Amino acid sequence: MTPGDPAGIENLTRREREVLLLIETGATNRLISQTLGISERTVKAHFASIMKKTGVTSRSQAAVFACELPPDTTKGDLTRPSVRS
**Tens-digit pLDDT profile for residues 6-21:** 888 889 999 999 999 9
Half-sphere exposure in the Cβ direction for 52 (13 Å, CA): 10
Residue 36 burial (10 A CB sphere; 0-12, 13-18, 19+): middle
pLDDT of residue 17: 93
pLDDT of residue 1: 53
What does the alpha-carbon distance between residue 72 and residue 49 come to, in Å, rounded to a whole number? Answer: 21
Confidence band for 85, pLDDT divided at 50, 70 and 90: low
Mean pLDDT of the chain: 86
* CA 23 to centroid of chain Cα atoms: 5
What does the alpha-carbon distance between residue 20 and residue 14 come to, in Å, rounded to a whole number? Answer: 10
Q: Where are the domains of the chain?
A: 6-72
**Tens-digit pLDDT profile for residues 57-80:** 999 999 999 988 776 655 555 555
Domain 6-72, CATH class in plain words: mainly alpha
